[in-house]
Amino acid sequence: MLSPWDEAASGKLKRVLGAEAGERMRQKVMEKMGLTSLKSANELFAFAELLGQEGGFAGALGGLLGVHATLRGATGQSARPPTPPLLTAVTPEAARDATVHEGRPEPGEEPSRRGRTSP
């Protein structure tokens, strides 16, 4: 007997892709996950993300199942690695190297005539 999470994934796949193709796609994604059954909203969310990578109708269905899982309590925490912090410490050298000078010379550099129209 399928869990409610399996039924959601399987039912939608079979309705959109057909019974055989839907079941093959479900098995393919489950193999990638290393699972035989979906037991939580987070697992359905992870399933949906992998399904989304398939593209086409299966990919669109992955998006739909992701919303379904989220509405039923999925947090997505088990489905993807933690997001790195937006701000990180930067050394003064790295900041200088990454600065855009908009055509202005660095201190101590000769001005370039590149892009100028007057002599």
**Secondary structure (DSSP) of 96-119:** HHH---TTPPPTTPPPP-TT----
This prediction has a pTM of 0.63
For the record, the structure tokens of 90 come out as 């930067």
pLDDT digits (tens, 9 = 90+) for 35-83: 999 999 999 999 999 999 998 999 999 999 999 999 999 987 654 444 4
Reported as a pLDDT band with limits 50, 70 and 90, residue 1 is confident
Tell the burial category of 43 from Cβ atoms under 10 Å away from its Cβ (0-12, 13-18, 19+): buried
Residues 85-114: tens digit of each pLDDT:
555 555 667 666 655 555 565 666 665 555
Residue 85's H or E segment, with its range, is none
Domain range list for the chain: 4-71
**Other residues' Cβ atoms within 10 Å of the Cβ of residue 31:** 10
